[in-house]
Amino acid sequence: MLVELTVNGESRSANVPPETTLLKMLREHLGLTGAKLGCDVGDCGTCTVIVDGVSVNSCLMLAGRADGCDVTTIEGLATADDLHPLQQKFEEHGALQCGFCGPGMLISAKNLLDNNPDPSVFEVRDALAGNLCRCTGYTKIIEAVIEAGEMMSQEPANV
């Protein structure tokens, strides 16, 4: 089936078998390998992408479901000149160790800050509950998200 969607602002399309997940379409048909294949059953969150404003596990969403939708992946965060404030703060805080959970963590955090620029620690933990970091770097990740929120509120022009 033909699936047409907007990925990080660009129109993209691919012909995929109906049982293809959005993750597989992004990685294997569109060459966007930022979203990672982790558990493949919706537990780990490293495949997280934003579809029409809400974050989802792209390993659980069939590509056909995303037809006509607006998708944001980790590749859509940085510009040619600058890292996204979240990426800057993750770097500053050493919030990633092995980094495998990073794309999902950053996308979940972006979705949180898009809707709630000044989250409490509880709200950050709740928003990241579906993203597992097996290096257990949660504390630094949470600190980075809080600071990125502050940075984005102060410099809205940069976002």
Partner 1 sequence: MRPMDYIVPESAEAAVAILAERGENACPLAGGTDLVVDLKHAPGNINALVDVSGLDEFRGIDVTDEGLRIGSMATYGEIMEHPVCLEKTPEVVAASHTVGAVQTRNLGTIGGNLVTCVPSADSAPALMVLDAEVTLIGTNGWRRMPIEDFFVGPRKTILEPYELLAEIWIPKHTLGKPSSFYKFGLRKGQALALVNAAAALELDGDRIVEPRIALGAVAPTPIRAVKAEALLDGQDVDAKLLDEAAQIAVTESKPIDDFRASKNYRRQLIRTLTRRVLERSVEIARKRQEQDKLH
- Site of interaction with partner 1 (CB under 8 A): 1, 17-19, 21, 40-43, 45, 48, 54-57, 59-62, 64-65, 108, 111, 125-127, 129-131
Q: Who's near 26: CB < 8 A, 6+ residues apart?
A: 7, 32, 35, 49, 58, 71, 73
Residue pair 114/154 in contact by the 8 Å Cβ criterion: no
| Type of residue at 152 | M
Q: How far is the CB of 55 from partner 1 (least distance, A)?
A: 5
Chain centroid offset of residue 32 CA = 12
Nearer to partner 1, 18 or 156 (CB): 18
- Strands (DSSP E) contained in the chain are 2-7, 10-15, 48-51, 54-57, 70-72
Closer residue to partner 1 (CB): 43 or 118: 43
Nearer to partner 1, 88 or 101 (CB): 101
C-beta of 129: minimal distance to partner 1 in Å? 3
In angstroms, what is the minimal distance from the CB of 73 to partner 1? 14
* CB of 64 or CB of 99, closer to partner 1: 64
Minimum CB separation of residue 117 from partner 1 in Å reads: 17
Residues whose CB falls within 8 Å of the CB of residue 138, separated by 6 or more in sequence, listed in order:
125, 128
